[in-house]
Amino acid sequence: MAGVSVYHRVVDFMEQNTPVSGGAKPRGDSGTNTPESGINSSGAAPAPDRNATLIRYWFLAGAVMVFLILIVGGITRLTQSGLSIVDWKPISGVIPPLNETQWEAEFDRYRAFPEYQQRNKGMSMSEFKFIFFWEYLHRMLARAIGFVFLIPFIWFASQRMFTRRQFKQAMLLFFLGFAQGFMGWYMVQSGLVDNPYVSPFRLAAHLSLAFAIFGACIWFAMETWPRFTRVVKASVHHGTGSWYRSALWMVVILFVVQVVWGALVAGHKAGYFFNTFPTMEGYWLPPQLWTSTPAWVNFFDNIVTVQWTHRLIGTLLLLATGGLVWLSRRADSLLKTTALSLGAGMAVQYLLGVFTLLLHVPISLGVIHQATAMVLFGILLAVIFRHRRITRAAAVLRQSA
Ligand code: HEM
């Protein structure tokens, strides 16, 4: 509530282009890490402090590293390298085989598992080294992310640079990071069995957690970013209506569903079938859509239905995003720019999806399609964040009127 009284003092002095929220007050979001973080009594925007800036870079570094590991993870999956390291050794696994004897031992362990026996019989040592490389890189990057997070964390904490809220955010990220490590292990286990294919559902969970960690890093960074937190009085009246809120919710729900079904398409290798567009081998509704019973099961385990759903949701998502862009035309410039970028990016993503399918999932396009989804998620969060700031500022102004 202290924040609202600060606003009241400030709103009296406001000109059309002075900040309504200079940073942080509602629910502890902060453009600075100082106690009054936000607005001084003259209504001027506060200078972002050094702690908040450093912590923002730290969160952003986390997001960049998650993005990199997503790309390497995509290559690992598409080169079918994910089951090449059959042990789980968080510490000693850092050292790869260093001589021919160690390589032979590693290859022998791989040869004992069904993936080699059923799918890769006769694989040469150089082919094994290739798939080993991608899985090894993926695991090393995961460890590196842990260090990039831990070392600055210890320093920030020892210097008492965190606000209470940022400390909790860091804890949440550590928790999600550990959960992701576990999920990666659990996913690999599903492929080291008689049927040597990774479970599409565990893959979807692994990908969704990667999006969650990336999204949390971006969101927490925006909370310390005056560019996103500051709202000027002139801009609060557009982009805050119920139509806008509904359109935004629609985009968010469709986006989340689309990412999960994208992972199911990838996990089921459904992109290698029905490589035509806009119809599926001449059908809008292929006859194989409802072969499993009960009918809802098809959405999860029938590759035809999984691909069909991804096409359908993708199309709805593109339309809903178009609507959001249209509604943003009079919003404040940052909201308008982020919404426009989302719309343009979504159109590109749609085309990338279509070409990934038409060209039978080349590794490059598969990876770019996946990476673009993560970029779009970051932009979508920026739209949500900015919209919330404007809505809150509008409420404050209404209260003080
Ligand atoms: C417009 C919004 C779209 C979004 C946000 C989106 C997102 C995704 C995501 C996150 C994946 C999972 C990638 C992975 O785990 O490697 C995926 C996979 C895939 N998507 Fe989309 N997609 C969209 C549209 C489309 C469209 C319109 C098509 C085709 C008509 C399409 C075709 C595919 C295919 C074939 C895959 C599997 C690629 C693979 O096996 O690696 N996507 N999509």
What ligand 1 atom has the least distance to the C-alpha of 203? 15
| Tens digit of each residue's pLDDT (9 = 90 or more) over 58-116 | 999 999 999 999 999 999 999 999 999 998 888 888 999 999 999 999 999 999 999 99
Among 197, 265, 374, which is best to mutate for testing ligand 1, by the most ligand atoms less than 8 A from CB?
A: 265
Please report the pLDDT score of residue 323 as a whole number. 97
Instruction: In whole angstroms, give the CA distance from residue 138 to residue 362.
Output: 20
Mean pLDDT score, 324-351 = 95
Contacts of 189 (CB under 8 A, 6+ apart): none
Is the bond leading into 286 cis (omega within 30 degrees of zero)?
no
12 pLDDT exceeds 60?
Answer: no
Please report the pLDDT score of residue 38 as a whole number. 34
What confidence category does residue 8 fall into, taking pLDDT thresholds of 50, 70 and 90? very low
Ligand 1 lined by 277 (C-beta under 6 Å): yes
Mean pLDDT score, 278-300 = 97
Instruction: In whole angstroms, give the CA distance from residue 256 to residue 211.
Output: 10
Rg (Cα) of the chain, in Å, rounded?
Answer: 24
What are 129's two structure tokens? 């080294």
Among 369, 374, 380, which is best to mutate for testing ligand 1, by the most ligand atoms less than 8 A from CB?
A: 369
| Beta carbons of 275 and 358 less than 8 angstroms apart | yes
What are 54's two structure tokens? 């450093």
Please report the pLDDT score of residue 4 as a whole number. 39
What confidence category does residue 193 fall into, taking pLDDT thresholds of 50, 70 and 90? confident
42 pLDDT exceeds 80?
Answer: no
Atom 13 of ligand 1, nearest CA residue: 370
- Kindly report the backbone phi and psi dihedral angles of residue 232, in degrees, each rounded to the nearest multiple of 5, phi listed first: -95, 150
What ligand 1 atom has the least distance to the C-alpha of 349? 1
What confidence category does residue 239 fall into, taking pLDDT thresholds of 50, 70 and 90? low
Please report the pLDDT score of residue 217 as a whole number. 98
Atom 17 of ligand 1, nearest CA residue: 262
Instruction: In whole angstroms, give the CA distance from residue 150 to residue 61.
Output: 12
Please report the pLDDT score of residue 124 as a whole number. 97
Helices and strands, number each (H, E), in the chain? 13, 2
Please report the pLDDT score of residue 103 as a whole number. 97
28 pLDDT exceeds 80?
Answer: no
pLDDT over 70, % of the chain: 87
Mean pLDDT score, 326-354 = 95
198: nearest Cα among 127, 113, 121: 113
Atom 32 of ligand 1, nearest CA residue: 353
Q: How many residues does the chain have?
A: 401
Atom 18 of ligand 1, nearest CA residue: 262
pTM value is: 0.89
Ligand 1 lined by 298 (C-beta under 6 Å): no
Ligand 1 lined by 369 (C-beta under 6 Å): yes
Ligand 1 lined by 73 (C-beta under 6 Å): no
What ligand 1 atom has the least distance to the C-alpha of 271? 35
Please report the pLDDT score of residue 394 as a whole number. 87
195 pLDDT exceeds 80?
Answer: yes
Ligand 1 lined by 206 (C-beta under 6 Å): no
What are 253's two structure tokens? 């729900």
Quote the ligand 1 centre to 199 CA distance (angstroms). 18
Please report the pLDDT score of residue 250 as a whole number. 98
Mean pLDDT score, 156-166 = 96
Cα dihedral 177/182/184/188 (nearest 10)? 170
40 pLDDT exceeds 80?
Answer: no
Integer angstrom CA distances of residue 121 from 87, 129, 196: 20, 15, 13
| Residue 270 DSSP code | G
Among 264, 309, 310, 367, which is best to mutate for testing ligand 1, by the most ligand atoms less than 8 A from CB?
A: 310
Please report the pLDDT score of residue 166 as a whole number. 97
